[in-house]
Homo-oligomer: A and B are copies of this chain.
């Protein structure tokens, strides 16, 4: 039974499962491995839902997450350039769990070879255009890393891994599709160049905008989207989803009512602080939606979460609309960035009131 008293992250399991089902079907149709990124939900319980759609291998973004998910999963890629200081934690991961690391630097390979007491698979991180981490396809460093991997005994070179994070900075499906095409082209050229030398070479991509916009995933061997499990207002703006694909909403009590604003208990410690820019140029930290049934419905015209401090949130909009809320009412709000809101809230409440733990649960 759902009883809300404080800021609560509601999860609509039916929407969430439908998001998983659609993405898994797209991967299956394209014949590529679906290795979803679990950094968005960070939950063993939600992880189990993926299994019902055929998922056997997962992606995480920290050794800490690998430790957590290794309780239930047997094939984990840690998709962040490896921090050599955590090598002992990798050694301590269950031997029954296949572990893949990402590297960019020959010295990391040498240090891993010297300190690993278990076998790992290794992907070379490629910069497919995002410009955050990864090697450019033409850099001599790429050959150096491959050479160092060929000589290593504990490390098996698996292939190339990229993340087209620049897909988050565009606002149309056509632009996302262009990024998707360019990223695949990079991977295809790498495959063409190295497949003969490394049979079974893998190419792995996978951000939610590209994976949502693409009609099929052909041209790579693996896709790793994460955010699609919940989606959010950022993905809506990019064109990755519709409003009714967003699977999480915050519920917050109104604690102060003014003519021109409502103040809720619900701040940066609950939502995170990612923001979008609204049509009027104002910051938006969330959109107010209607309460509907046990969950939520469409947007309440013009009501936005316009400011966040540590524990307070300020909702603005037309005074006639604000007037209909009272102190003590609960307001439903779609988050700007569901990964960060989930990480801040550290647990989920389903529409029937079931609590679902998050890795970071207190």
Contact = CB atoms under 8 A, between A and B. Distances in A.
Given A105-B327, A255-B82, A256-B104, A268 B311 contact: no
A316 to B, nearest CB: 11
Instruction: Please classify how large the interface on chain A is, using the bins under 10, 10 to 19, 20 to 34, 35 or more.
Output: 35 or more
Contacts of A339: 310
A273 B273 CA distance: 6
A247 B272 CA distance: 23
A360 B253 CA distance: 21
Nearest to A85: B5
A107 interface: yes
A81 B4 contact: no
A139 B255 CA distance: 18
A62 interface: yes
A339 B105 CA distance: 35
A272 B344 CA distance: 10
A205 interface: no
Contacts of A359: 362
A263 interface: yes
B268 A108 contact: no
A255 B39 contact: no
A165 B4 contact: no
Nearest to A62: B311
A200 interface: no
A143 B63 CA distance: 57
Interface in A294-314: 307, 309-312, 314
A104 B263 CA distance: 12
A216 interface: no
Given A255-B133, A269-B343, A6 B83 contact: yes
A327 B86 CA distance: 13
A39 B310 contact: yes
A130 B165 CA distance: 37
Contact of A85 (B253, B268, B273): B253
Interface in A254-271: 255-257, 263, 265, 268-269
B360 A83 contact: no
Nearest to A133: B256
A336 to B, nearest CB: 11
Contacts of A274: 268, 273
A340 to B, nearest CB: 6
A127 to B, nearest CB: 9
Interface in A101-135: 104-105, 107-108, 111, 125, 132-134
Interface string A345-362: 010000000000001111
B61 A310 contact: yes
A4 B84 CA distance: 12
Given A6-B64, A310-B340, 16 more contacts: A5-B83, A61-B311, A80-B255, A84-B253, A85-B253, A104-B327, A105-B327, A108-B327, A108-B328, A111-B328, A132-B309, A132-B312, A133-B263, A268-B272, A269-B343, A346-B360
Interface of A: 4-6, 39, 61-64, 80-86, 89, 104-105, 107-108, 111, 125, 132-134, 165, 253, 255-257, 263, 265, 268-269, 272-274, 307, 309-312, 314, 326-328, 339-340, 343, 346, 359-362
